[in-house]
Amino acid sequence: MKNYFLLMLLIPLSSWAQVKGEISGNVEAQTRHTWNNEAAQDDLAQDWEEENFHLFYGNLNGKLQFKGSRLESNVFARHSQSNLYQDPKNPAVSEYIAPMIFTFPQKLVARDVFKLQHTEEGSDYRSELILNKLFYEWDYEEHRFMIGRMYINYGQGEIFNPINPFNQPTGLTAISQVAQGNDGFNFEFFVNDKYTVDFYFLGDKSLEGYDGQIDRTMWIHGEYQASDELQLDYVVGEDQRRHKLGGQVRYNFSKAQVFAQALYQTDFVDDKESHPLWDTLLGYDQQVTNKWHVRLESGYQKKNRFLLTPSFGERFLPTEYFVALANQFEVHPLVKLTGTIVNDVKTGFTYFITRNTVDLGHNMEFEIFGYIPAAKGSDIENPAQKLVTTDVGAALRAFF
Amino acid sequence: MFKSLFRKDIVLCVALGANANNADEWAKYAEKQMRGDRSRAKIEMSIQTPNWKRTLEIESDVEGKKLALSTINSPAKEKGIRTLRIENNMWNYFPKLKRKVAVSSSMLLASWMGSDFTNDDILKASSMAEDYEHKFLENKKLNGTEYRVIENSARTDAKVMWPKIVTYASIQDCLPRQYHYFDKQGTLKRILFLDQIKTFDGHKMPTQWVMQPQDDLNKKTQINYTDIDFDVKFPGNHFSQKNLTDF
């Protein structure tokens, strides 16, 4: 597989004469002050009260455009510093959870065959360098073929997007301009103006580790524009040892857009003990005035009882039933205010997120953010919600 | 008075000839000149207040009234973001994240990149000639210049944002110099000033457009057409999902 990969990367070298190159990217410095939940200190061994957390990250995108094909890459670098990190050489001390939440998505490659990353950890820092995109894409008439590490990005959900297991939605996170890579092949067929089908063949070592076997993903995503108002998506395939089947319906009203998703996952296809999982999403999106945008997402994700720590997978917020209402106001062409309230219907846990951005000009942006639990959830139903901290912070980002 | 003005129209507004007294023809003529059958335009947009200015560079491809594709070429943050409209459907594409997002029709109302123009303006989603009924109002003098005034009222079946737009058109070249946009309550919400008429491929069109919101007179957005090609031929799949994501 490695040889094929290298061969496909070398193909474009034959057409150097028509090559066009482009470099772009962004860098961001972020700092936050965080207060721990008292219940997490008492019940979950998170014995700290308040701390600072500093984060620096950036993307470097490269693109080489050839006649009818292209090569794209992205290097993601992240350095975070805080007393919440603990000495990795001291196995007696268990890691605090909060830094994992602050750096979500922690995993920058969703399905990986190759490691292509370097990590360094110290008693108060963690540094990562990850090649999370490197693919060669070839266009031929109404078809497109891609090989390498690629982003797979579809589905209307911004907070929860169950039909796409290959890219975590970042609608609630403090990190922007981030997507997850996936190793493998993609064939895209533009059947006609209204119908597109993607076939993905991916490899994954996240279940077994790099010394274990490669798990296969065979996945089909179809997108059909049934009418001016109605779009239908379907997904079907095998991924992480489960058969999965799902779809999305999107209806475009004159004043708003409504969408629904469902994904059903069978037991593991091997004999390993498991149970079926299913996720649903219902969403509403409206531009109320030319300055005010509203989005409502509500969903359900079945808890996986067979994980070592029963959880909801790699979600930003641990909720089973949730309703999220996001409002964005443009108070000035340079100032955007965003407020999102998320409620776990079952436990009562409620969380408020605000992100307020000022365009500073010269390709720079400043942001003030706050993550504030507004109501505690039931201790019994979902103890993981105690891990959610109260944070205020600021970020400065630049684009080039 | 009216008679002399009417005669003046016929003499000066040569382009419309015998149709100079037909408000529908004025709207059709302006649209034909400024929109053509298809076009590729290079645009500089600057959003301005007394204290700051933000500039974007855009390439805008339009074919007929149903197809449009716009691409932002600068600044760096937005570079590469594309918007495709096919009939009543619209998608945004963010190439750095390879993310395509279907946009609801209500987003046509949204401010485009913080400017005083909306998605509807940029994607030329509505047609003044086809989506509105037209009638002449009394001519008006503004700053010493006399204009033909046309009231455009949205047709009942038209999916448009503005129920009423009033055009102030030059008596000399029949092209609009101002559009006044009114909301459902009849309140004047914004004025588009058009100036710097130039000819491209036989099409006369204003190359400087200034949108002035009426609720904030300190702010405005100016568009300058730096180049426009009305003879452009787009490949068959130019306005397609494949081309949208091929960037």
The tens digit of pLDDT for each residue in A277-316 reads: 999 999 999 988 878 999 999 999 887 777 655 454 556 6
In angstroms, the CA A139 to CA A146 distance is 9
- For residue B105, give the nearest of A139, A151, A252 by CB distance: A252
Nearest CA in chain B to A27: B77
Most A CBs within 10 A among B105, B245, B247, hence the mutation to make, goes to B105
- For residue A196, give the nearest of B47, B237, B241 by CB distance: B241
Inter-chain CB proximity A333 and B87 less than 8 Å: no
Query: Residue B97 is which amino acid?
Result: L
Residues of chain A with pLDDT under 50: 310, 312
Q: Which residues of B touch A26 (CB under 8 A)?
A: 77
Task: Say if residue B193 is exposed, middle or buried (CB neighbours under 10 Å; 0-12, 13-18, 19+).
Answer: middle
Inter-chain CB proximity B107 and A287 less than 8 Å: yes
- For residue B104, give the nearest of A196, A252, A359 by CB distance: A252
Q: Which residues of B touch A256 (CB under 8 A)?
A: 104, 106
Most A CBs within 10 A among B242, B245, B246, B247, hence the mutation to make, goes to B242
CA distance B247 to chain A (A): 9
Q: What is the 3-state secondary structure (H, E, C) of chain A?
A: CHHHHHHHHHHHHHHHHHCEEEEEEEEEEEEEEEECCHHHHHHCCCCCCEEEEEEEEEEEEEEEEECCEEEEEEEEEEEEEECCCCCCCCCCCCCCCHHHHHCCCCCCEEECCCCCEEEEECCCEEEEEEEEEEEEEEEECCEEEEEEEEECCCCCCCCCCCCCCCCCCCCCCCCCCCCCEEEEEEEEEEEECCEEEEEEEEEECCCCCCCCCCEEEEEEEEEEECCCCEEEEEEEEEECCEEEEEEEEEEECCCCEEEEEEEEEEEECCCCCCCCEEEEEEEEEEEEECCEEEEEEEEEECCECCCCCCECCCCCCCCCEEEEEEEEEEEECCEEEEEEEEEECCCCCEEEEEEEEEEEECCEEEEEEEEEEEECCCCCCCHHHHHCCEEEEEEEEEEC
Nearest CA in chain A to B99: A153
Q: What is the pLDDT confidence band of residue B6, given thresholds at 50, 70 and 90?
A: very low
- For residue B98, give the nearest of A139, A153, A365 by CB distance: A153
Inter-chain CB proximity A361 and B79 less than 8 Å: no
Inter-chain CB proximity B54 and A334 less than 8 Å: yes
Q: What integer pLDDT is reported at residue B115 of this predicted model?
A: 87
Inter-chain CB proximity B241 and A193 less than 8 Å: yes
The answer for residues whose C-beta is within 8 angstroms of residue B61's C-beta and 6 or more apart is B38, B39, B40, B41, B68, B69, B70, B232, B234, B238, B239
Nearest CA in chain B to A227: B89
Cβ atoms of A22 and A362 within 8 Å: the answer is no
CA distance B14 to chain A (A): 39
End-to-end Cα spacing for chain A: 35
In angstroms, the CA A145 to CA A132 distance is 19
Q: Does the pLDDT at position B102 exceed 60? A: yes
Q: Which residues of B touch A178 (CB under 8 A)?
A: 97
Inter-chain CB proximity B106 and A334 less than 8 Å: no
Inter-chain CB proximity B76 and A142 less than 8 Å: no
Nearest CA in chain A to B77: A399
Q: What is the pLDDT confidence band of residue B4, given thresholds at 50, 70 and 90?
A: very low
pTM: 0.84
Q: How many CA atoms lie within 13 A of A282 on its CB side?
A: 5
Q: What integer pLDDT is reported at residue B234 of this predicted model?
A: 94
Q: How many cross-chain Cβ pairs, A to B, lie less than 8 Å apart?
A: 107
Q: What integer pLDDT is reported at residue A131 of this predicted model?
A: 96
Q: Does the pLDDT at position B8 exceed 90? A: no
CA distance B244 to chain A (A): 12
Mean pLDDT for all residues in chain B: 87
Q: What integer pLDDT is reported at residue B5 of this predicted model?
A: 44
Secondary structure (3-state) at B26: helix
Q: Does the pLDDT at position B181 exceed 90? A: yes
Cβ count near A346 (within 10 Å)? 15
Nearest CA in chain B to A65: B247
Secondary structure (3-state) at B37: coil
Beta pairing, strands B99-103 & A257-268: unpaired
The interface predicted TM-score (ipTM) is 0.83
Task: Say if residue B186 is exposed, middle or buried (CB neighbours under 10 Å; 0-12, 13-18, 19+).
Answer: exposed
Residues of chain B above pLDDT 70, percent: 91
Inter-chain CB proximity A253 and B105 less than 8 Å: yes
Cβ count near B111 (within 10 Å)? 21
- For residue B97, give the nearest of A179, A193, A290 by CB distance: A179
Inter-chain CB proximity A179 and B54 less than 8 Å: no
Inter-chain CB proximity B77 and A151 less than 8 Å: no
Inter-chain CB proximity A333 and B107 less than 8 Å: no
Q: What is the pLDDT confidence band of residue B66, given thresholds at 50, 70 and 90?
A: confident
